[in-house]
Structure 1
Amino acid sequence: MKSPEDFPRNRATKSGRATYCRPCHNRIMRANRQTHYGSDRNFQLVRRYGVDAVQVEWMILQQGGVCALCREANPRHVDHDHRSGKVRGILCFNCNKGLGKVEDGPDVLRRAMDYLLAHGSG
């Protein structure tokens, strides 16, 4: 028999503990996501961005099957405005990380472009 510490806290229950232990809870939630959303990725897309996998694939097709910035094939990362939450496009890993590093600041991107032009970019 499992000890009460094996069950996460849950203020909604009389005992103050969840009905299922953490591994069982995770298994049940994974099964529910499969049943209701078709996949864990689709669940995360809907939860985080309000779009599903079909909409993402449509956006990729609208972009010609490439990253919206660098034009590399097979983009898979949803780019969104962190302030409004609105989805802007689908990017490759590197472009998505790069935008994250400059925190979506157009001024920073302009300075980076000026810097590359002034110092030669290869």
Structure 2
Amino acid sequence: METKTCPKCGEEKPTDDFYFQRRACKPCVREDQRRFRDSQPDYNHARNLQRRYGLSVDEYQTLLANQNFACPICEVEISNTIAYKGKRPVAVDHNHDTGDVRGILCSMCNLMLGHARENTSILYRAIVYLSERGAYASKK
């Protein structure tokens, strides 16, 4: 079995413990990546906002401010931060046909729209259904 010495940790390891065209061993590369992610908590979210929705962090913050930092459907408070440490408490709502961003929703409301296939007829029938059957009305 061929071995190679990692320049970061100095240990001699099998070549299988190295990524293709990387000098450092896999554990050292993963540790570097973890340290980078921990030092830049908003990095991935900001990059995803730009790549997926064409939004900068400032535009995202403006959307939230225009909504008074609340979900426009259920009015639950939405945090003023984009860092979520692996959790997704909010979602960027967008038109799946045009890609246009409509706003920032809480996860539950975003799921509701998705499960209704963004079809207003389905949502209207759901309102009628709940109205006719004595729906629970939350106290605000």
TM-score normalised to the size of structure 1? Answer: 0.71
The C-alpha deviation readout for 1:44-80, integer Å capped at 9, x for no partner, is 1111111022111101110111101111101632101
> Are 1:100 and 2:114 counterparts?
yes
Specify the code of the residue in structure 2 equivalent to 1:102: A
Q: CA RMSD in A?
A: 2.6
Whole-angstrom distance in 1 between the partners of 2:115 and 2:26? 34
Whole-angstrom distance in 1 between the partners of 2:116 and 2:56? 27
1:19 matched to which residue of 2? 21
Where in structure 1 are there 5+ consecutive unaligned residues? 8-17
1:52 matched to which residue of 2? 56
Aligned residues: 105
Specify the code of the residue in structure 1 equivalent to 2:107: F
Higher strand share: 2
- 1:58 is paired with a residue of what secondary structure? helix
Specify the code of the residue in structure 2 equivalent to 1:19: Q
Whole-angstrom distance in 1 between the partners of 2:97 and 2:76? 27
1:109 matched to which residue of 2? 123
Shift in Å at residue 99 of structure 1?
1.0
1:3 matched to which residue of 2? 16
> Are 1:119 and 2:119 counterparts?
no
Could you say which structure has the larger radius of gyration? 2
Where in structure 2 are there 5+ consecutive unaligned residues? 5-14, 80-89
- 1:88 is paired with a residue of what secondary structure? strand
1:10 matched to which residue of 2? none
Higher helix share: 1
Structure 1 runs of 4+ off > 4 angstroms? none
